[in-house]
Chain A
Amino acid sequence: MEENQDIKNLITEISITEGDGFNYQEEIIKKDLLLNEDQPGLLIKVISILGGFWACITFFGFLMLAGLYESENGMIIIGAIFYIAVIIGNRYIKNIVLDTASVSTYLVAIGLIGFALIQREVELNYVFIIMILLAVITVIVTESKVLNFIAILIFSGHIQALIIYNEANNLLHVYNIVYVGFTTFVLMNEAKIISFSKKMNELYSPLRIGLLFSLVGGFVFLGVKGIFDTEIAYVWVTSGVIVLLVLYFVYKVIISLKINNSKTRLALLISSALILLPSIFAPAICGAVLIILLTYHQKYKTGLGLGIISLIYFIIQFYYDLELKLIEKSIILFLSGVLFIVAYVFIKRILLKGDHSDIKS
């Protein structure tokens, strides 16, 4: 089969460039790659997701109608049983529909536990903490990419819920700063993480997309004015941190692309800082720019799409909230547009005639 030959070629190529000492488990690699090549089409995925979801809903409808609704303890027990079954059983499920149904089951199990706890009037903070623990356990135990992704979202969401519920809104900035830092680290150190251990290798994809979504979620709370009031000073701190991270990233890329001309280096760094300056009041916008830069560097399409959509959304949100007259807004928008176009023409000129000593062909 041609696919086998492709894989053999691949491994041979890598062995040659890596030299001796390259140890690999050939059979498993072959099997894994073949499995990935044979992915069912989008159509099948959509049908199995819808079907799995529907099957799960009706199943829990059955449970509820059979009397589960009456008993909170029952809900907790059933929820716990299904939770454990899903995170452990996920390795052994081969049926496509059950695979997607396991995701819905997981969500409903978590929902049941949460719902039951609230019905029993447990203090909300404890409910949040239990959810966070469940998410952490999921990440540790399960290999499934989808479940890990959902668990990361649950984790981040409940941390934010904790902050908001206890009215410590300024901590939202701490949340954002921590997440921004961690996301930057993860996106800039792909090699380090996936070569660290098998578990980390499997965890990398869901971690990356989960962090990005959690980050954008955090920005939404800051970006939409008036949802949560925080001190203005802290807004500056968050934006400042993000700008610093952007500069750090630009610096790293400059080094890795071997751009040696120090004038060029300085020009790039300064212009990056200048472009971000107008959005210093909106950490969400700076953050979206950072996401776009990081994901483009990795050529990570999904993340890039997310970054672009959130940038558009946050910019629109920002201008919408701006308390200026329409005419003033239109002037600002128009002038910014002209500025960008001027910058474009300027850069095009520089690249066309400028000094090519540092540009590899």
Chain B
Amino acid sequence: MKLRKTLFMKLSRNQIQTVSKFSNLEEKNVNSLLKKNVYASESDWIRFIKIGLLGLGAAFTLSGIVFFFAYNWNDMHKFFKLALNMSIIIAGVSAILFVKFNLTVNKIILTGISILIGVFLAVFGQIYQTGANSFDFFLGWAIFIVIWVLISDFPPLWLIFIILLNTTFITYTQQYGTDWEFEMILNVLFLINVIILTLLIFLHSKTILKNLPEWFSKTIAIFSISAITLSLIIGVSDNYSHTVLISIGLALFLYVPGMYYGIKKRNLFYLAIIPFSIILVIASLLLRITDEAVADMYLIVSLFTIGSITLLIRQIISLRKKWKVINNNEKIIHTN
């Protein structure tokens, strides 16, 4: 039997396992297949040793330094603490401006110093005992870093900033004791995040904003939908109040365009989580309809859940197949 070229297609572990299961490959053959295709090679091991030693070295040295500061914290003069913090920030800014690091490193440094600004404010608050006024702290932090966030073009930093905005709002409601119910707070959170998300998507579609990674928009979408879903579930389960009507209104107002967006952009994600949220709300509604915990209703809910989710998943899978074909056809048209 003539020997052809050796394998140029790398097998996956899964494939090797399947072939082994349904054939009479012997142990040593499987072993050599695995070694050639899957297992770590010598260069892999060298990289392992290098990264391992460097990583451990950096981590231990850094923790040693941190521990040292922790030990001496109480004895340090207050100016020293603030000066230390500020000098790291200044060092970061100088590094970005004057050292020719590549773009990603600069963005990471920018994120680091944005966080350090928060640390600075915290230390300040601790030294001067400004009281447990967290709203001012978060608001100040957000305001101070907003310019950096806008110019950064770095989604992880945007995410941190959005979390900061949400926290600022939450502390506002706690500090300035509005009589908003919990659901209303959730509704506003939903609204804020959806507005941000829609704005970003819009800017992205007009190519004003060049970089909008999937994970980022999905994370915000999940958070927003969780907020409104929770709000609806609570609203439906408690005594009916005006708030739940507002929640339902908000949800309808935004779910419909959401679904439409999903269909238009062939993005399965929104088409999956919005119906999922609706299923959860209906399930809670069913449980609420009977005043006490009635056994039969649990059975109905159980069957309803299985049925509706199966339906949802089937739809998603078939849409996926259909769109895969359409996407492939489009690719062919574009390349011709």
Which A residues are closer than 8 A to B by beta carbons?
6, 9-11, 13-14, 16-25, 28-29, 32-33, 36, 40-41, 43-44, 47-48, 50-52, 54-56, 58-59, 61-62, 65-66, 95-98, 101, 190-192, 194-196, 198, 201-202, 204-205, 253, 256-257, 259, 296-299, 325-327, 329-341, 343-344, 347-348, 351, 359-360
Dominant secondary structure of chain A at its interface with chain B? helix
Task: Please report the C-alpha to C-alpha distance between residue A123 and residue B135 in the assembled complex, in whole angstroms.
Answer: 55
B contact residues around A98 at 8 Å (CB): 306, 310
Among A19, A51, A198, point to the contact of B21 (Cβ < 8 A).
A198
A contact residues around B303 at 8 Å (CB): 55
* Chain A residue with Cβ nearest B306: A55
B contact residues around A338 at 8 Å (CB): 57, 61
B contact residues around A190 at 8 Å (CB): 30-31, 34
Task: Please report the C-alpha to C-alpha distance between residue A43 and residue B29 in the assembled complex, in whole angstroms.
Answer: 37
| Contact A347–B67 (Cβ < 8 Å) | no
B99 within 8 A of A: no
* Chain B residue with Cβ nearest A348: B50
B90 within 8 A of A: no
Task: Please report the C-alpha to C-alpha distance between residue A52 and residue B310 in the assembled complex, in whole angstroms.
Answer: 10
B272 within 8 A of A: yes
| Contact B17–A201 (Cβ < 8 Å) | yes
Task: Please report the C-alpha to C-alpha distance between residue A263 and residue B13 in the assembled complex, in whole angstroms.
Answer: 34
Give the distance to chain B from A58, nearest Cβ to Cβ, in Å. Answer: 4
B144 within 8 A of A: no
B contact residues around A18 at 8 Å (CB): 25, 29
| Contact A51–B305 (Cβ < 8 Å) | yes
B contact residues around A56 at 8 Å (CB): 302
| Contact A192–B27 (Cβ < 8 Å) | yes
Q: Report, as a range, how many residues of chain B touch the other chain.
A: 35 or more
| Contact A32–B18 (Cβ < 8 Å) | yes
Task: Please report the C-alpha to C-alpha distance between residue A222 and residue B71 in the assembled complex, in whole angstroms.
Answer: 28
* 30 sampled A-B residue pairs with Cβ under 8 A: A18-B25, A23-B24, A24-B19, A24-B22, A40-B313, A44-B317, A47-B276, A47-B309, A56-B302, A58-B283, A58-B301, A62-B296, A62-B302, A65-B294, A96-B313, A190-B30, A195-B26, A195-B27, A198-B21, A202-B21, A299-B40, A329-B67, A330-B65, A331-B64, A333-B63, A334-B61, A337-B62, A341-B54, A343-B53, A343-B57
| Contact B306–A51 (Cβ < 8 Å) | yes
Which residues of B (1-58) have their CB < 8 Å from a CB of A?
Answer: 1, 3-4, 6-7, 9, 11, 13-15, 17-31, 33-35, 38-42, 44-46, 48-50, 53-54, 56-58
A contact residues around B70 at 8 Å (CB): 326, 330
* Chain B residue with Cβ nearest A47: B276
Task: Please report the C-alpha to C-alpha distance between residue A62 and residue B299 in the assembled complex, in whole angstroms.
Answer: 5
Give the distance to chain A from B64, nearest Cβ to Cβ, in Å. Answer: 3
Task: Please report the C-alpha to C-alpha distance between residue A98 and residue B320 in the assembled complex, in whole angstroms.
Answer: 21
Which B residues are closer than 8 A to A by beta carbons?
1, 3-4, 6-7, 9, 11, 13-15, 17-31, 33-35, 38-42, 44-46, 48-50, 53-54, 56-68, 70-71, 268-269, 272-273, 276, 279-280, 283, 293-296, 298-299, 301-303, 305-306, 309-310, 312-313, 316-317, 320
Task: Please report the C-alpha to C-alpha distance between residue A41 and residue B53 in the assembled complex, in whole angstroms.
Answer: 36
B contact residues around A24 at 8 Å (CB): 19, 22-24
| Contact A23–B62 (Cβ < 8 Å) | no
| Contact B27–A191 (Cβ < 8 Å) | yes
Task: Please report the C-alpha to C-alpha distance between residue A195 and residue B18 in the assembled complex, in whole angstroms.
Answer: 10
Q: Which 10 A-B pairs have the closest CB atoms?
A: A334-B64, A337-B61, A337-B60, A340-B57, A330-B67, A24-B23, A191-B31, A333-B64, A51-B309, A341-B57
| Contact A201–B272 (Cβ < 8 Å) | no
Task: Please report the C-alpha to C-alpha distance between residue A146 and residue B66 in the assembled complex, in whole angstroms.
Answer: 42
| Most chain A C-beta atoms within 10 Å of own C-beta, residue among B7, B28, B41, B56 | B56
Give the distance to chain B from A346, nearest Cβ to Cβ, in Å. Answer: 9
* Chain A residue with Cβ nearest B272: A43
Among B20, B268, B309, point to the contact of A194 (Cβ < 8 A).
B20
Give the distance to chain B from A46, nearest Cβ to Cβ, in Å. Answer: 9
Starting from the known contacts A43-B268, A326-B67, A334-B68, 16 additional A-B residue pairs (CB-CB under 8 Å) come to A18-B25, A36-B14, A47-B276, A55-B302, A55-B306, A59-B298, A59-B302, A61-B302, A62-B296, A95-B310, A97-B310, A191-B27, A327-B71, A330-B65, A331-B64, A347-B53
B contact residues around A333 at 8 Å (CB): 60-61, 63-64, 67
| Contact A344–B31 (Cβ < 8 Å) | no
* Chain B residue with Cβ nearest A56: B302
Among A52, A62, A325, A340, point to the contact of B60 (Cβ < 8 A).
A340
Among A14, A51, A62, A340, point to the contact of B19 (Cβ < 8 A).
A14
Among A10, A65, A259, A335, point to the contact of B64 (Cβ < 8 A).
A335
* Chain A residue with Cβ nearest B312: A47
B contact residues around A21 at 8 Å (CB): 24
Give the distance to chain B from A250, nearest Cβ to Cβ, in Å. Answer: 10
A contact residues around B1 at 8 Å (CB): 16, 19-20
Give the distance to chain A from B72, nearest Cβ to Cβ, in Å. Answer: 8
| Contact B27–A330 (Cβ < 8 Å) | no
Also in contact, A65 and B305, with CB within 8 A (given A54-B283, A299-B38, A344-B53): no
| Contact B313–A48 (Cβ < 8 Å) | yes
Give the distance to chain B from A270, nearest Cβ to Cβ, in Å. Answer: 14
B contact residues around A54 at 8 Å (CB): 280, 283, 305
